[in-house]
Amino acid sequence: MSTFIILIFMCAAQVGAKIYSHYHLFKVIPQNQFQLTGLKAMFEDGDYKIDFWIAPSSVNRTTEFLVPPSYVSRVKGILHSLDAETHILNKNIQEVIDQENEEQAHNGSQYTAYASNSVTDKYASYNEIKNLLHSYETKYKHLSVIKFGKSFEGRDLVAIKFSTGPGKRVIFVESGMHCREWISIASSLKIIERMATTLGQDPEIDELLRLYDWIFVPTVNPDGYYYTHNFDRMWRKNRRPINFFCTGTDLNRNFAAGWGGPGASPNPCNPTFRGTSVFSEPEAKALASFVKLVQPIAFFSVHAYSQYIMTPYGYTYKKPADSMELTHLAHKAAAAIKAVNGLKFTVGTPPELLYIATGGAYDWAKLEANVKYSYAFELRPTQSYGNGFLLPKRNIKPSSLELFAALKTFAKGFYNR
Ligand SMILES: [Zn+2]
């Protein structure tokens, strides 16, 4: 094939967004080792084009995955041969994506119960987020916007820092490493909005800014986030091409924390590809340098979905020496979340709740950056909700209140330690 024809193919592939018509969302809970092994083989075999939203981990733990229509009968056959009880949560995920697009277009309409802001009430684009942060910077004195690097495609990696005076310890919150987890970005942005605009009017914000400086990185993976808005809603990784066929590294598998071990794929086509080396990805590397520079007392990775507060470590079943203390605070935060809207968040390490995952940012913060309090959230919804990552935007405000309640509880918990 000539280079010219290849180029035409590549251009054609870029026209319009990927369509998910009749993609089926499956849910299976393996009941025995045989079924689990079969699911894991599906997970590791890129040929099936199956997108695992929740990877298979152990017996009796939920796995959820999206299957293209052309593979549905084949996958059903495999599951039948495993004698696995199969639930189909959705038979046409494109309908949900269409609903989401429609909702995005009609801003503020049916959800007027909350103060309306055209950017923070929807799943804002990268540029809208960046512009909003800069608009705060021109308006408010207690915050600054920090560029700490560039993405592979040249977008600014942007943080916002809140500080009402010198000498305070820093709490660091990052979101959007997995760019399809839109609720994590939107929930963080709502908190940023509150910290920016309500100082002196909101006693909770006043207190949090009296105790600490706060740094938020709302979109750690801006190229991927742009891609989810314009080309493929279900994209998870960054956008650096690895070879002719496959693009992207799972940034949350690229950190120096058991890198290259289980729960991270060596296959560049896999959604959990670990990268070509530790910190091979500019976004992960820049975030790590920034965290080392800042030396926060606490580091939070915000993800979705499953409603978990995860304590270290993700890369091993071993726990840090202060695990009891960290877990105790996480339970308090979970109680605070429950008090907001009644949602249950479960506390545990990734191997306890999901699976071992190596190369994760919050493990790295604890292991390598000397951050004592390091956690990861999986925000709403629960597993089995049906549309996992495709959460209607009316969830943004309540989800952000849940995240806020947890962060506040943690912050107060750290203060006297
Ligand atoms: Zn994630």
DSSP string, 362-399: HHHHHHHS--SEEEEEEESS-TTSSSTT---GGGHHHH
State in Å: Cα 173 to ligand 1 middle: 14
Q: Does the pLDDT at position 133 exceed 90? A: yes
Q: Does the pLDDT at position 214 exceed 80? A: yes
State in Å: Cα 4 to ligand 1 middle: 37
State in Å: Cα 167 to ligand 1 middle: 33
pLDDT of 111 = 42
The answer to whether 184 and 123 have CB atoms below 8 angstroms apart is: no
pLDDT of 125 = 95
User: Could you tell me the two tokens for 90?
Assistant: 């959705």
Checking phi first, is residue 342 left (phi over 0); if not, alpha (psi -120 to 50) or beta? left
Give the C-alpha separation, 268 to 387, whole Å: 26
Q: Does the pLDDT at position 10 exceed 50? A: no
Give the C-alpha separation, 349 to 352, whole Å: 5
Give the C-alpha separation, 88 to 172, whole Å: 38
- Strands of 49-117 (E only): list them: 51-54, 63-67, 86-90
- Confirm whether 5 is domain-assigned: no
The sign one gets for the Cα dihedral 31, 35, 36, 42 is negative
The reply to whether 351 and 283 lie within a common domain is yes
Give the total number of structural domains in the chain.
2
The answer to whether 407 and 173 have CB atoms below 8 angstroms apart is: yes
Residue 257: what residue type?
Answer: A
**Partners of 213 in beta bridges:** 170
The answer to whether 331 and 407 have CB atoms below 8 angstroms apart is: no
* For range 114-133, the mean pLDDT: 85
* For range 91-96, the mean pLDDT: 95
The reply to whether 395 and 278 lie within a common domain is yes
* For range 237-250, the mean pLDDT: 96
We report the CATH number of the domain holding residue 401 as 3.40.630.10
Residue 26: what residue type?
Answer: F
* For range 338-344, the mean pLDDT: 96
- Confirm whether 265 is domain-assigned: yes
pLDDT of 46 = 65
Q: Please give the order of strands across the beta sheet that includes 170-175.
A: 143-150, 156-162, 213-217, 170-175, 298-304, 373-379, 308-310, 346-348
The reply to whether 97 and 124 lie within a common domain is no
Of 7-21, 66-80, 166-180, 198-212, give the lowest mean pLDDT range.
Answer: 7-21
- Confirm whether 258 is domain-assigned: yes
Q: In a 10 Å sphere around its CB, with 0-12 CB exposed, 13-18 middle and 19+ buried, how is residue 280 labelled?
A: middle
The reply to whether 189 and 79 lie within a common domain is no
State in Å: Cα 156 to ligand 1 middle: 21
The answer to whether 47 and 82 have CB atoms below 8 angstroms apart is: no
pTM: 0.92
The reply to whether 217 and 340 lie within a common domain is yes
* For range 269-287, the mean pLDDT: 96
Q: Does the pLDDT at position 348 exceed 60? A: yes
Q: Does the pLDDT at position 43 exceed 70? A: yes
Give the C-alpha separation, 206 to 199, whole Å: 6
pLDDT of 296 = 98
What would the pLDDT profile of 23-39 be if each residue is shown by its tens digit?
A: 999 999 999 999 999 99
State in Å: Cα 416 to ligand 1 middle: 31
Q: Does the pLDDT at position 325 exceed 60? A: yes
Q: Does the pLDDT at position 9 exceed 60? A: no
State which residues form the domain around 35: 18-101
Q: How do strand 298-304 and strand 170-175 relate by DSSP bridges?
A: parallel
**Chosen domain end from 52, 70, 101:** 101
User: Could you tell me the two tokens for 127?
Assistant: 């540029």
pLDDT of 116 = 54
Instruction: Name the residues annotated as catalytic.
Output: 378
Q: Does the pLDDT at position 244 exceed 60? A: yes
Of 133-137, 143-147, 177-181, 268-272, give the lowest mean pLDDT range.
Answer: 268-272
State in Å: Cα 169 to ligand 1 middle: 27
151 C-beta neighbours (distance < 10 Å), count:
24
The answer to whether 209 and 222 have CB atoms below 8 angstroms apart is: no
Which residue pairs, CB below 8 angstroms and at least 24 apart, start in 42-51? 42/75, 42/78, 44/265, 44/267, 44/270, 46/267, 46/269, 46/270, 48/74, 48/75, 50/75, 51/234, 51/271
State in Å: Cα 202 to ligand 1 middle: 31
Q: Report the chain's mean pLDDT, rounded to a whole number.
A: 92
* For range 382-386, the mean pLDDT: 85
Q: Does 46 or 154 have the greater pLDDT score?
A: 154
Of 296-300, 302-306, 385-389, 410-414, give the lowest mean pLDDT range.
Answer: 385-389
Give the C-alpha separation, 225 to 355, whole Å: 25
The reply to whether 90 and 137 lie within a common domain is no
State in Å: Cα 303 to ligand 1 middle: 4
Place of tokens 């940023």: 192
- Confirm whether 266 is domain-assigned: yes
The reply to whether 31 and 125 lie within a common domain is no
- Confirm whether 111 is domain-assigned: no
Pick from 254, 240, 234, 231: which is nearest to 150 by CA?
A: 240
State in Å: Cα 80 to ligand 1 middle: 30
* For range 60-86, the mean pLDDT: 94
**Chosen domain end from 76, 101, 126:** 101
State in Å: Cα 154 to ligand 1 middle: 23
Q: Does the pLDDT at position 107 exceed 70? A: no
We report the CATH number of the domain holding residue 90 as 3.30.70.340
State in Å: Cα 199 to ligand 1 middle: 31
